[in-house]
Structure 1
Protein backbone atom coordinates (compact mmCIF):
# COMPACT_ATOMS: atom_id res chain seq x y z
CA UNK A 1 0.00 0.00 0.00
CA UNK A 2 1.21 3.47 -0.92
CA UNK A 3 3.11 5.11 1.95
CA UNK A 4 1.26 8.39 1.28
CA UNK A 5 -2.03 6.77 2.37
CA UNK A 6 -0.67 4.38 5.01
CA UNK A 7 -2.89 5.35 7.96
CA UNK A 8 -6.00 5.40 5.82
CA UNK A 9 -5.23 2.10 4.09
CA UNK A 10 -4.40 0.21 7.28
CA UNK A 11 -7.81 1.08 8.70
CA UNK A 12 -9.54 -0.45 5.66
CA UNK A 13 -7.76 -3.82 5.99
CA UNK A 14 -7.90 -4.00 9.78
CA UNK A 15 -10.77 -6.51 9.55
CA UNK A 16 -8.23 -9.11 8.40
CA UNK A 17 -6.09 -8.57 11.47
CA UNK A 18 -3.56 -6.57 9.43
CA UNK A 19 -2.71 -4.06 12.14
CA UNK A 20 0.38 -2.23 13.36
CA UNK A 21 1.04 -0.47 16.65
CA UNK A 22 0.86 3.32 16.90
CA UNK A 23 4.63 3.42 17.32
CA UNK A 24 5.19 1.33 14.19
CA UNK A 25 2.84 3.49 12.13
CA UNK A 26 4.56 6.68 13.28
CA UNK A 27 8.00 5.26 12.53
CA UNK A 28 6.94 4.10 9.05
CA UNK A 29 5.37 7.44 8.24
CA UNK A 30 8.73 9.13 8.80
CA UNK A 31 11.22 6.53 7.60
CA UNK A 32 9.47 5.75 4.30
CA UNK A 33 9.65 9.42 3.29
CA UNK A 34 13.40 9.41 3.98
CA UNK A 35 13.73 6.08 2.14
CA UNK A 36 12.06 7.50 -0.95
CA UNK A 37 14.43 10.46 -1.00
CA UNK A 38 17.63 8.52 -0.30
CA UNK A 39 17.00 5.88 -2.98
CA UNK A 40 15.48 8.38 -5.45
CA UNK A 41 12.32 6.31 -5.89
CA UNK A 42 9.15 7.31 -7.71
CA UNK A 43 6.97 5.62 -5.12
CA UNK A 44 7.38 3.72 -1.85
CA UNK A 45 4.94 1.07 -0.68
CA UNK A 46 4.64 -0.54 2.72
CA UNK A 47 4.55 -4.13 1.45
CA UNK A 48 3.82 -5.83 4.77
CA UNK A 49 5.35 -7.99 7.47
CA UNK A 50 6.72 -11.53 7.50
CA UNK A 51 6.53 -13.11 10.93
CA UNK A 52 9.62 -14.79 12.37
CA UNK A 53 10.22 -16.92 15.44
CA UNK A 54 12.62 -14.39 16.99
CA UNK A 55 11.88 -11.17 15.10
CA UNK A 56 9.48 -9.98 12.40
CA UNK A 57 10.58 -8.54 9.06
CA UNK A 58 8.89 -5.30 8.02
CA UNK A 59 9.03 -4.97 4.23
CA UNK A 60 9.02 -1.84 2.08
CA UNK A 61 9.03 -1.81 -1.70
CA UNK A 62 10.36 0.98 -3.87
CA UNK A 63 8.99 1.48 -7.37
CA UNK A 64 10.75 3.15 -10.27
CA UNK A 65 9.58 4.31 -13.68
CA UNK A 66 8.21 0.85 -14.60
CA UNK A 67 5.89 -0.37 -11.84
CA UNK A 68 6.45 -4.04 -12.69
CA UNK A 69 10.16 -4.21 -13.45
CA UNK A 70 11.71 -1.41 -11.40
CA UNK A 71 11.28 -2.74 -7.87
CA UNK A 72 13.57 -2.68 -4.85
CA UNK A 73 12.69 -4.57 -1.68
CA UNK A 74 13.97 -3.56 1.73
CA UNK A 75 13.49 -4.98 5.21
CA UNK A 76 13.61 -3.59 8.73
CA UNK A 77 13.18 -4.83 12.28
CA UNK A 78 12.25 -1.49 13.86
CA UNK A 79 10.51 0.35 10.96
CA UNK A 80 13.31 2.90 10.96
CA UNK A 81 16.54 1.28 9.72
CA UNK A 82 16.19 -0.31 6.28
CA UNK A 83 18.39 -2.85 4.51
CA UNK A 84 18.27 -3.56 0.78
CA UNK A 85 17.46 -7.12 -0.28
CA UNK A 86 19.22 -8.74 -3.26
CA UNK A 87 17.12 -9.39 -6.38
CA UNK A 88 15.73 -12.92 -6.65
CA UNK A 89 17.67 -14.69 -9.43
CA UNK A 90 16.79 -18.06 -10.95
CA UNK A 91 19.71 -19.78 -9.22
CA UNK A 92 18.74 -18.23 -5.89
CA UNK A 93 15.13 -19.36 -6.29
CA UNK A 94 16.29 -22.92 -7.03
CA UNK A 95 18.56 -23.04 -3.98
CA UNK A 96 15.89 -21.65 -1.68
CA UNK A 97 13.31 -24.18 -2.89
CA UNK A 98 15.70 -27.04 -2.09
CA UNK A 99 17.20 -25.95 1.21
CA UNK A 100 14.56 -24.02 3.15
CA UNK A 101 11.56 -25.24 5.09
CA UNK A 102 9.58 -24.29 8.19
CA UNK A 103 9.05 -20.88 9.72
CA UNK A 104 11.31 -17.87 9.29
CA UNK A 105 13.71 -17.45 12.19
CA UNK A 106 13.99 -13.68 12.11
CA UNK A 107 17.77 -13.59 11.58
CA UNK A 108 18.93 -12.64 8.04
CA UNK A 109 22.31 -14.32 8.61
CA UNK A 110 20.77 -17.65 9.60
CA UNK A 111 21.85 -20.40 7.19
CA UNK A 112 19.59 -23.20 5.99
CA UNK A 113 21.24 -26.42 4.91
CA UNK A 114 20.12 -29.38 2.83
CA UNK A 115 22.03 -32.63 3.00
CA UNK A 116 22.14 -34.65 -0.23
CA UNK A 117 23.35 -38.25 -0.25
CA UNK A 118 24.91 -39.64 -3.41
CA UNK A 119 26.18 -43.11 -4.23
CA UNK A 120 25.03 -46.40 -2.78
CA UNK A 121 23.75 -45.72 0.71
CA UNK A 122 24.04 -49.44 1.52
CA UNK A 123 27.81 -49.06 1.27
CA UNK A 124 29.03 -46.53 3.80
CA UNK A 125 32.23 -45.69 1.89
CA UNK A 126 30.27 -44.93 -1.32
CA UNK A 127 27.89 -42.44 0.31
CA UNK A 128 28.89 -38.80 -0.13
CA UNK A 129 27.12 -35.94 1.61
CA UNK A 130 26.85 -32.56 -0.09
CA UNK A 131 25.36 -29.51 1.67
CA UNK A 132 23.29 -26.85 -0.08
CA UNK A 133 23.41 -23.64 1.94
CA UNK A 134 21.29 -20.50 1.66
CA UNK A 135 20.87 -17.55 4.01
CA UNK A 136 17.54 -16.39 5.38
CA UNK A 137 18.08 -13.00 3.72
CA UNK A 138 17.99 -14.74 0.33
CA UNK A 139 14.97 -16.78 1.39
CA UNK A 140 13.22 -13.52 2.32
CA UNK A 141 13.98 -12.03 -1.12
CA UNK A 142 12.65 -15.13 -2.89
CA UNK A 143 9.49 -15.30 -0.77
CA UNK A 144 8.64 -11.67 -1.55
CA UNK A 145 9.28 -12.40 -5.23
CA UNK A 146 6.88 -15.38 -5.19
CA UNK A 147 4.13 -13.41 -3.44
CA UNK A 148 4.53 -10.53 -5.90
CA UNK A 149 4.34 -12.95 -8.83
CA UNK A 150 1.35 -14.94 -7.64
CA UNK A 151 -1.01 -12.75 -5.60
CA UNK A 152 -0.43 -9.02 -6.07
CA UNK A 153 -3.73 -7.43 -7.09
CA UNK A 154 -4.80 -4.24 -8.84
CA UNK A 155 -8.21 -3.17 -10.21
CA UNK A 156 -8.65 -3.29 -13.99
CA UNK A 157 -7.59 0.05 -15.44
CA UNK A 158 -5.50 1.18 -12.47
CA UNK A 159 -2.30 0.67 -14.49
CA UNK A 160 -1.58 1.22 -18.16
CA UNK A 161 1.17 0.18 -20.55
CA UNK A 162 2.38 3.20 -22.48
CA UNK A 163 3.62 3.11 -26.11
CA UNK A 164 7.17 2.57 -24.85
CA UNK A 165 6.15 -0.59 -22.97
CA UNK A 166 6.42 0.93 -19.48
CA UNK A 167 3.78 -0.03 -16.92
CA UNK A 168 2.68 3.06 -15.01
CA UNK A 169 -0.14 4.35 -12.83
CA UNK A 170 -3.21 5.39 -14.80
CA UNK A 171 -3.85 8.92 -13.58
CA UNK A 172 -7.34 8.94 -15.12
CA UNK A 173 -8.48 5.82 -13.23
CA UNK A 174 -11.58 6.71 -11.22
CA UNK A 175 -12.26 3.31 -9.69
CA UNK A 176 -14.46 0.35 -10.49
CA UNK A 177 -18.22 0.64 -10.18
CA UNK A 178 -19.97 -1.22 -7.37
CA UNK A 179 -21.14 -3.95 -9.75
CA UNK A 180 -17.71 -4.28 -11.39
CA UNK A 181 -16.02 -4.66 -8.00
CA UNK A 182 -18.12 -7.76 -7.30
CA UNK A 183 -16.49 -9.74 -10.13
CA UNK A 184 -13.02 -11.29 -10.08
CA UNK A 185 -12.76 -10.56 -13.82
CA UNK A 186 -12.14 -6.91 -12.94
CA UNK A 187 -9.09 -7.58 -10.77
CA UNK A 188 -5.65 -8.35 -12.18
CA UNK A 189 -2.18 -9.48 -11.16
CA UNK A 190 0.50 -6.79 -11.34
CA UNK A 191 3.08 -9.27 -12.61
CA UNK A 192 4.26 -10.67 -15.92
CA UNK A 193 1.21 -12.26 -17.64
CA UNK A 194 1.25 -16.03 -18.01
CA UNK A 195 -2.13 -16.70 -19.66
CA UNK A 196 -2.25 -16.10 -23.42
CA UNK A 197 -6.05 -15.87 -23.36
CA UNK A 198 -7.49 -13.62 -20.70
CA UNK A 199 -11.13 -13.63 -19.69
CA UNK A 200 -11.30 -9.86 -19.65
CA UNK A 201 -10.95 -9.91 -23.43
CA UNK A 202 -14.00 -11.99 -24.30
CA UNK A 203 -16.25 -11.84 -21.24
CA UNK A 204 -16.31 -8.09 -20.73
CA UNK A 205 -17.04 -7.36 -24.37
CA UNK A 206 -14.33 -4.73 -24.66
CA UNK A 207 -10.57 -4.94 -25.00
CA UNK A 208 -7.93 -2.29 -24.60
CA UNK A 209 -4.30 -3.36 -25.05
CA UNK A 210 -3.23 -0.51 -22.80
CA UNK A 211 -5.03 -1.94 -19.74
CA UNK A 212 -5.84 -5.58 -20.59
CA UNK A 213 -2.22 -6.77 -20.64
CA UNK A 214 -2.40 -8.49 -17.22
CA UNK A 215 -3.83 -11.82 -16.04
CA UNK A 216 -7.22 -11.72 -14.33
CA UNK A 217 -7.84 -13.34 -10.95
CA UNK A 218 -10.72 -15.46 -12.27
CA UNK A 219 -8.17 -17.46 -14.31
CA UNK A 220 -6.18 -18.44 -11.24
CA UNK A 221 -5.67 -22.12 -10.49
CA UNK A 222 -6.97 -23.64 -8.30
CA UNK A 223 -10.40 -22.07 -8.64
CA UNK A 224 -11.68 -20.61 -5.40
CA UNK A 225 -8.30 -19.34 -4.22
CA UNK A 226 -9.73 -15.86 -3.58
CA UNK A 227 -12.28 -14.63 -1.07
CA UNK A 228 -14.18 -11.48 -2.17
CA UNK A 229 -16.24 -9.56 0.39
CA UNK A 230 -17.65 -6.09 0.94
CA UNK A 231 -16.91 -4.53 4.31
CA UNK A 232 -17.20 -1.16 6.09
CA UNK A 233 -20.96 -0.90 5.44
CA UNK A 234 -20.45 -2.38 1.95
CA UNK A 235 -18.28 0.57 0.93
CA UNK A 236 -14.98 -1.31 0.62
CA UNK A 237 -14.22 -4.33 -1.56
CA UNK A 238 -11.79 -6.70 0.19
CA UNK A 239 -9.98 -9.60 -1.47
CA UNK A 240 -8.08 -12.21 0.53
CA UNK A 241 -5.77 -14.83 -0.88
CA UNK A 242 -6.24 -18.39 0.33
CA UNK A 243 -3.02 -19.46 -1.40
CA UNK A 244 -0.80 -17.01 0.49
CA UNK A 245 -2.70 -16.55 3.72
CA UNK A 246 -2.17 -13.01 4.97
CA UNK A 247 -2.42 -11.20 1.63
CA UNK A 248 -5.27 -8.67 1.81
CA UNK A 249 -6.29 -6.26 -0.96
CA UNK A 250 -8.79 -3.40 -0.69
CA UNK A 251 -10.52 -1.12 -3.18
CA UNK A 252 -13.11 1.59 -2.65
CA UNK A 253 -15.45 1.52 -5.68
CA UNK A 254 -15.87 4.83 -7.54
CA UNK A 255 -12.54 6.06 -6.16
CA UNK A 256 -8.94 5.37 -7.24
CA UNK A 257 -8.09 4.15 -3.73
CA UNK A 258 -6.70 0.61 -3.64
CA UNK A 259 -3.79 -1.31 -2.19
CA UNK A 260 -2.65 -4.55 -0.65
CA UNK A 261 -0.64 -5.75 2.32
CA UNK A 262 0.82 -9.10 3.36
CA UNK A 263 1.12 -10.04 7.01
CA UNK A 264 1.86 -13.71 7.46
CA UNK A 265 4.47 -16.39 8.08
CA UNK A 266 5.76 -16.35 4.50
CA UNK A 267 4.66 -19.92 3.80
CA UNK A 268 2.48 -20.91 0.86
CA UNK A 269 -0.71 -22.84 1.57
CA UNK A 270 0.15 -25.97 -0.42
CA UNK A 271 -2.90 -27.79 0.99
CA UNK A 272 -5.35 -25.41 -0.71
CA UNK A 273 -6.34 -27.79 -3.59
CA UNK A 274 -7.38 -30.38 -1.00
CA UNK A 275 -9.32 -27.83 1.06
CA UNK A 276 -11.55 -26.56 -1.75
Structure 2
Protein backbone atom coordinates (compact mmCIF):
# COMPACT_ATOMS: atom_id res chain seq x y z
CA UNK A 1 0.00 0.00 0.00
CA UNK A 2 1.62 3.22 -1.16
CA UNK A 3 2.30 5.54 1.76
CA UNK A 4 0.94 8.50 -0.22
CA UNK A 5 -2.40 6.68 -0.64
CA UNK A 6 -2.62 5.26 2.87
CA UNK A 7 -5.64 7.30 3.95
CA UNK A 8 -7.60 6.54 0.77
CA UNK A 9 -6.60 2.90 0.19
CA UNK A 10 -7.19 1.70 3.75
CA UNK A 11 -10.89 1.49 2.90
CA UNK A 12 -10.21 -1.65 0.86
CA UNK A 13 -8.78 -3.38 3.94
CA UNK A 14 -11.79 -2.25 5.97
CA UNK A 15 -13.83 -4.85 4.11
CA UNK A 16 -12.38 -7.64 6.28
CA UNK A 17 -13.37 -5.81 9.45
CA UNK A 18 -10.02 -4.23 10.35
CA UNK A 19 -8.68 -0.72 9.90
CA UNK A 20 -6.31 1.96 11.17
CA UNK A 21 -7.59 4.83 13.29
CA UNK A 22 -6.89 8.47 12.52
CA UNK A 23 -3.99 8.69 14.99
CA UNK A 24 -2.33 5.59 13.53
CA UNK A 25 -2.58 6.91 9.98
CA UNK A 26 -1.12 10.30 10.87
CA UNK A 27 1.79 8.86 12.86
CA UNK A 28 2.53 6.24 10.20
CA UNK A 29 2.59 8.81 7.40
CA UNK A 30 5.06 10.96 9.32
CA UNK A 31 7.24 8.03 10.40
CA UNK A 32 7.37 6.49 6.93
CA UNK A 33 8.33 9.81 5.38
CA UNK A 34 11.27 9.95 7.78
CA UNK A 35 12.58 6.71 6.29
CA UNK A 36 12.78 8.40 2.90
CA UNK A 37 15.03 11.07 4.37
CA UNK A 38 17.68 8.55 5.45
CA UNK A 39 17.24 5.80 2.85
CA UNK A 40 16.99 6.01 -0.92
CA UNK A 41 14.18 3.85 -2.27
CA UNK A 42 12.38 3.91 -5.59
CA UNK A 43 9.18 3.20 -3.69
CA UNK A 44 8.20 2.67 -0.06
CA UNK A 45 5.03 0.89 1.00
CA UNK A 46 3.05 0.42 4.17
CA UNK A 47 3.08 -3.37 4.48
CA UNK A 48 0.75 -3.88 7.41
CA UNK A 49 0.22 -4.39 11.12
CA UNK A 50 0.66 -7.43 13.35
CA UNK A 51 -1.40 -7.24 16.49
CA UNK A 52 0.22 -7.92 19.86
CA UNK A 53 -1.03 -8.32 23.42
CA UNK A 54 0.80 -5.29 24.87
CA UNK A 55 1.84 -3.42 21.73
CA UNK A 56 1.33 -3.82 17.99
CA UNK A 57 3.97 -4.00 15.26
CA UNK A 58 3.81 -1.87 12.10
CA UNK A 59 5.72 -3.01 9.03
CA UNK A 60 6.96 -1.07 5.98
CA UNK A 61 8.91 -2.23 2.94
CA UNK A 62 11.24 -0.25 0.69
CA UNK A 63 11.67 -1.24 -2.96
CA UNK A 64 14.64 -0.59 -5.24
CA UNK A 65 14.11 -1.31 -8.94
CA UNK A 66 17.06 0.41 -10.59
CA UNK A 67 19.98 -1.86 -11.38
CA UNK A 68 18.19 -4.95 -10.04
CA UNK A 69 18.05 -7.81 -12.51
CA UNK A 70 14.48 -9.08 -13.11
CA UNK A 71 13.15 -8.24 -9.64
CA UNK A 72 13.55 -5.38 -7.13
CA UNK A 73 15.12 -5.77 -3.71
CA UNK A 74 12.88 -5.51 -0.67
CA UNK A 75 14.01 -4.02 2.64
CA UNK A 76 11.65 -4.35 5.60
CA UNK A 77 11.21 -2.02 8.57
CA UNK A 78 9.32 -2.41 11.84
CA UNK A 79 7.98 -0.13 14.55
CA UNK A 80 6.00 -0.57 17.75
CA UNK A 81 2.73 1.17 18.52
CA UNK A 82 4.21 2.94 21.54
CA UNK A 83 6.99 4.72 19.60
CA UNK A 84 6.23 4.63 15.84
CA UNK A 85 10.00 4.67 15.25
CA UNK A 86 10.99 2.41 12.36
CA UNK A 87 14.10 0.23 12.42
CA UNK A 88 15.35 -2.27 9.88
CA UNK A 89 13.90 -5.75 10.32
CA UNK A 90 16.67 -8.32 10.90
CA UNK A 91 17.33 -11.20 8.53
CA UNK A 92 15.67 -14.51 9.32
CA UNK A 93 17.41 -17.40 11.02
CA UNK A 94 16.42 -20.56 9.14
CA UNK A 95 17.77 -22.69 11.98
CA UNK A 96 14.50 -22.17 13.86
CA UNK A 97 12.15 -22.59 10.90
CA UNK A 98 10.44 -25.75 12.20
CA UNK A 99 9.80 -24.19 15.60
CA UNK A 100 8.43 -20.95 14.15
CA UNK A 101 5.93 -22.84 12.00
CA UNK A 102 4.57 -24.51 15.12
CA UNK A 103 3.97 -21.28 17.09
CA UNK A 104 0.27 -20.66 17.74
CA UNK A 105 0.50 -18.10 20.53
CA UNK A 106 -0.13 -14.40 19.99
CA UNK A 107 2.68 -11.88 19.72
CA UNK A 108 3.27 -10.20 23.08
CA UNK A 109 4.44 -6.84 21.72
CA UNK A 110 7.79 -7.18 23.52
CA UNK A 111 10.36 -7.60 20.75
CA UNK A 112 13.04 -8.72 23.23
CA UNK A 113 10.93 -11.53 24.66
CA UNK A 114 12.89 -14.81 24.37
CA UNK A 115 10.90 -17.56 22.68
CA UNK A 116 13.65 -20.16 22.30
CA UNK A 117 16.48 -19.80 24.82
CA UNK A 118 19.96 -21.09 24.17
CA UNK A 119 20.79 -24.57 25.52
CA UNK A 120 22.77 -24.49 28.75
CA UNK A 121 25.95 -25.70 27.06
CA UNK A 122 25.72 -22.88 24.50
CA UNK A 123 25.07 -20.33 27.23
CA UNK A 124 28.20 -21.49 29.06
CA UNK A 125 30.17 -21.34 25.82
CA UNK A 126 28.95 -17.79 25.18
CA UNK A 127 29.98 -16.69 28.67
CA UNK A 128 33.42 -18.24 28.21
CA UNK A 129 33.76 -16.51 24.86
CA UNK A 130 32.90 -13.14 26.39
CA UNK A 131 35.50 -13.67 29.11
CA UNK A 132 38.10 -14.64 26.52
CA UNK A 133 37.38 -11.47 24.54
CA UNK A 134 38.20 -9.42 27.62
CA UNK A 135 41.68 -10.89 27.79
CA UNK A 136 44.54 -9.70 25.60
CA UNK A 137 45.10 -11.70 22.44
CA UNK A 138 48.62 -12.96 21.61
CA UNK A 139 50.35 -10.83 19.01
CA UNK A 140 50.92 -13.81 16.72
CA UNK A 141 47.31 -14.98 16.84
CA UNK A 142 45.42 -15.14 13.58
CA UNK A 143 42.63 -12.58 13.79
CA UNK A 144 40.42 -14.38 11.28
CA UNK A 145 40.54 -17.61 13.29
CA UNK A 146 39.33 -15.77 16.40
CA UNK A 147 36.24 -14.37 14.68
CA UNK A 148 33.25 -16.46 15.70
CA UNK A 149 29.54 -15.90 15.35
CA UNK A 150 28.04 -15.60 18.81
CA UNK A 151 25.10 -17.92 19.51
CA UNK A 152 21.85 -16.03 19.93
CA UNK A 153 18.54 -16.84 21.53
CA UNK A 154 15.42 -16.69 19.35
CA UNK A 155 13.39 -13.61 20.28
CA UNK A 156 9.98 -12.30 19.26
CA UNK A 157 11.70 -9.90 16.86
CA UNK A 158 13.22 -12.91 15.08
CA UNK A 159 9.77 -14.45 14.86
CA UNK A 160 8.39 -11.17 13.50
CA UNK A 161 11.09 -11.14 10.80
CA UNK A 162 10.23 -14.70 9.80
CA UNK A 163 6.43 -14.22 9.76
CA UNK A 164 6.58 -10.99 7.73
CA UNK A 165 8.75 -12.57 5.04
CA UNK A 166 6.62 -15.72 5.00
CA UNK A 167 3.45 -13.70 4.42
CA UNK A 168 5.21 -11.61 1.78
CA UNK A 169 6.37 -14.72 -0.06
CA UNK A 170 3.02 -16.52 0.12
CA UNK A 171 0.65 -13.61 -0.41
CA UNK A 172 2.13 -10.46 -2.02
CA UNK A 173 0.25 -9.91 -5.29
CA UNK A 174 -0.37 -7.45 -8.11
CA UNK A 175 -2.67 -7.42 -11.15
CA UNK A 176 -1.28 -8.85 -14.37
CA UNK A 177 -0.01 -5.94 -16.45
CA UNK A 178 0.80 -3.63 -13.54
CA UNK A 179 4.54 -4.23 -14.08
CA UNK A 180 6.71 -4.64 -17.13
CA UNK A 181 10.26 -5.72 -17.95
CA UNK A 182 12.68 -3.26 -19.54
CA UNK A 183 15.17 -4.29 -22.27
CA UNK A 184 17.78 -4.55 -19.47
CA UNK A 185 15.47 -6.97 -17.60
CA UNK A 186 14.64 -4.53 -14.81
CA UNK A 187 11.13 -4.49 -13.39
CA UNK A 188 9.21 -1.22 -13.73
CA UNK A 189 5.69 0.05 -13.08
CA UNK A 190 3.77 -0.10 -16.33
CA UNK A 191 2.67 3.46 -17.08
CA UNK A 192 0.31 2.24 -19.78
CA UNK A 193 -1.54 -0.05 -17.37
CA UNK A 194 -5.17 1.02 -17.23
CA UNK A 195 -6.40 -1.66 -14.85
CA UNK A 196 -8.36 -4.85 -15.24
CA UNK A 197 -11.73 -4.65 -16.91
CA UNK A 198 -14.99 -4.82 -14.99
CA UNK A 199 -15.48 -8.36 -16.22
CA UNK A 200 -12.04 -9.62 -15.16
CA UNK A 201 -11.28 -7.69 -11.95
CA UNK A 202 -12.90 -10.43 -9.83
CA UNK A 203 -11.19 -13.33 -11.65
CA UNK A 204 -8.37 -15.00 -9.73
CA UNK A 205 -6.30 -15.39 -12.92
CA UNK A 206 -6.04 -11.59 -13.06
CA UNK A 207 -3.50 -11.62 -10.22
CA UNK A 208 0.07 -12.82 -9.87
CA UNK A 209 2.63 -12.97 -7.06
CA UNK A 210 4.83 -9.94 -6.46
CA UNK A 211 8.03 -11.93 -5.95
CA UNK A 212 10.81 -13.37 -8.04
CA UNK A 213 9.44 -16.35 -10.03
CA UNK A 214 9.71 -19.66 -8.19
CA UNK A 215 8.17 -22.04 -10.71
CA UNK A 216 10.49 -23.44 -13.35
CA UNK A 217 8.07 -22.40 -16.10
CA UNK A 218 8.18 -18.73 -15.11
CA UNK A 219 11.92 -18.80 -14.43
CA UNK A 220 12.54 -19.91 -18.00
CA UNK A 221 9.95 -17.51 -19.37
CA UNK A 222 11.34 -14.40 -17.65
CA UNK A 223 14.86 -15.27 -18.85
CA UNK A 224 13.75 -15.10 -22.49
CA UNK A 225 14.42 -11.97 -24.51
CA UNK A 226 10.80 -11.69 -25.60
CA UNK A 227 9.54 -11.64 -22.00
CA UNK A 228 9.55 -7.84 -22.09
CA UNK A 229 6.64 -7.97 -24.55
CA UNK A 230 4.47 -9.85 -22.04
CA UNK A 231 3.09 -9.09 -18.60
CA UNK A 232 2.36 -12.57 -17.21
CA UNK A 233 5.97 -13.36 -16.33
CA UNK A 234 5.35 -13.79 -12.58
CA UNK A 235 3.86 -16.78 -10.73
CA UNK A 236 0.03 -16.81 -10.94
CA UNK A 237 -1.77 -17.12 -7.62
CA UNK A 238 -4.42 -19.42 -9.12
CA UNK A 239 -1.99 -22.37 -8.88
CA UNK A 240 -1.25 -21.87 -5.16
CA UNK A 241 -1.74 -24.79 -2.80
CA UNK A 242 -3.88 -25.80 -1.10
CA UNK A 243 -6.38 -25.28 -3.88
CA UNK A 244 -8.98 -22.77 -2.77
CA UNK A 245 -6.65 -20.82 -0.45
CA UNK A 246 -7.75 -17.54 -2.07
CA UNK A 247 -11.12 -15.82 -1.88
CA UNK A 248 -11.95 -13.08 -4.40
CA UNK A 249 -14.74 -10.68 -3.45
CA UNK A 250 -16.21 -7.77 -5.37
CA UNK A 251 -17.82 -4.75 -3.72
CA UNK A 252 -21.42 -3.60 -4.10
CA UNK A 253 -20.48 -1.13 -6.85
CA UNK A 254 -18.97 -4.00 -8.93
CA UNK A 255 -15.90 -1.85 -9.58
CA UNK A 256 -13.38 -3.00 -6.93
CA UNK A 257 -12.22 -6.44 -5.93
CA UNK A 258 -10.40 -7.75 -2.86
CA UNK A 259 -8.30 -10.92 -2.89
CA UNK A 260 -8.16 -12.45 0.57
CA UNK A 261 -5.83 -15.16 1.80
CA UNK A 262 -7.37 -18.00 3.79
CA UNK A 263 -3.90 -19.34 4.59
CA UNK A 264 -2.84 -16.08 6.25
CA UNK A 265 -6.10 -14.52 7.53
CA UNK A 266 -5.70 -10.75 7.54
CA UNK A 267 -4.02 -10.41 4.16
CA UNK A 268 -5.93 -8.44 1.53
CA UNK A 269 -4.96 -7.57 -2.01
CA UNK A 270 -7.14 -5.01 -3.79
CA UNK A 271 -7.65 -3.53 -7.23
CA UNK A 272 -10.07 -1.00 -8.68
CA UNK A 273 -11.17 -1.83 -12.21
CA UNK A 274 -10.09 0.43 -15.07
CA UNK A 275 -7.58 2.25 -12.86
CA UNK A 276 -4.00 2.07 -11.61
CA UNK A 277 -5.22 1.65 -8.03
CA UNK A 278 -3.95 -1.63 -6.59
CA UNK A 279 -2.00 -2.84 -3.59
CA UNK A 280 -2.04 -5.14 -0.61
CA UNK A 281 -1.73 -5.06 3.16
CA UNK A 282 -1.81 -7.40 6.12
CA UNK A 283 -3.55 -6.65 9.40
CA UNK A 284 -3.82 -9.66 11.67
CA UNK A 285 -2.26 -11.67 14.47
CA UNK A 286 0.54 -13.18 12.38
CA UNK A 287 -0.64 -16.77 12.84
CA UNK A 288 -0.81 -19.06 9.82
CA UNK A 289 -3.92 -21.18 9.28
CA UNK A 290 -2.03 -24.47 8.99
CA UNK A 291 -5.26 -26.46 9.23
CA UNK A 292 -6.59 -24.98 5.98
CA UNK A 293 -5.92 -28.11 3.83
CA UNK A 294 -8.23 -30.07 6.15
CA UNK A 295 -10.94 -27.39 6.05
CA UNK A 296 -11.29 -27.03 2.28
The two structures have a TM-score, normalised by structure 1, of: 0.84
Find out whether 1:252 has 2:272 as its counterpart: yes
Give 1:94 deviation, angstroms. 3.1
| Mean Cα deviation higher: 79-88 or 37-46 | 79-88
Find out whether 1:212 has 2:212 as its counterpart: no
Which residue in the other structure is 2:148 paired with? none
| Mean Cα deviation higher: 60-69 or 49-58 | 60-69
Q: Tell me, what secondary structure is at the counterpart of 1:214?
A: coil
Structure 2 vs 1, CA of residues 196 and 162 (structure 1 numbering), >3 Å: closer, same or farther?
A: same
Which one has the bigger strand percentage?
A: 1
Which residue in the other structure is 1:35 paired with? 35
Q: Tell me, what secondary structure is at the counterpart of 1:180?
A: coil
Give 1:98 deviation, angstroms. 2.5
Give 1:189 deviation, angstroms. 0.4
CA distance in 2, matches of 1:164, 1:143: 33
CA distance in 2, matches of 1:113, 1:73: 23
Q: Tell me, what secondary structure is at the counterpart of 2:288?
A: coil
Which residue in the other structure is 2:77 paired with? 74
Which residue in the other structure is 1:84 paired with? 88
1:112-159 deviation line (CA, Å, top 9, x unaligned): 12798xxxxxxxxxxxxxx98312112111111111111111000111
Instruction: State which of 148, 156, 164 in structure 2 corresponds to 1:136.
Output: 156
Give 1:162 deviation, angstroms. 2.1
Question: Structure 1 segments of 4 or more deviating over 6 A?
Answer: none
1:160-211 deviation line (CA, Å, top 9, x unaligned): 222323222212211111122122111000112222346xx9xxxxx86642
Structure 2 vs 1, CA of residues 166 and 58 (structure 1 numbering), >3 Å: closer, same or farther?
A: same
The count of aligned residue pairs is: 253
Find out whether 1:265 has 2:285 as its counterpart: yes
Note the residue ranges of structure 1 that are not aligned, 5 or more in a row. 117-130, 202-206
CA distance in 1, matches of 2:112, 2:241: 35
Contact 2:112–2:156 (8 Å) recurs in 1: yes
Q: Tell me, what secondary structure is at the counterpart of 2:241?
A: coil
Give 1:18 deviation, angstroms. 2.8
Give 1:266 deviation, angstroms. 0.9
Structure 2 vs 1, CA of residues 75 and 179 (structure 1 numbering), >3 Å: closer, same or farther?
A: same
Matches within 5 A, 1:137-176: 137-176=157-196
Give 1:68 deviation, angstroms. 4.4
Contact 2:246–2:261 (8 Å) recurs in 1: yes
Find out whether 1:184 has 2:199 as its counterpart: no
Which residue in the other structure is 1:123 paired with? none
Which residue in the other structure is 1:120 paired with? none
Contact 1:158–1:169 (8 Å) recurs in 2: yes
The two structures have a TM-score, normalised by structure 2, of: 0.79
CA distance in 2, matches of 1:112, 1:161: 42
CA distance in 2, matches of 1:158, 1:225: 23
Q: Tell me, what secondary structure is at the counterpart of 2:153?
A: strand
Find out whether 1:63 has 2:63 as its counterpart: yes
Aligned-residue RMSD, C-alpha: 2.4
Which one has the bigger helix percentage?
A: 2
CA distance in 2, matches of 1:254, 1:110: 47
Q: Tell me, what secondary structure is at the counterpart of 1:23?
A: helix
Which residue in the other structure is 2:17 paired with? 17
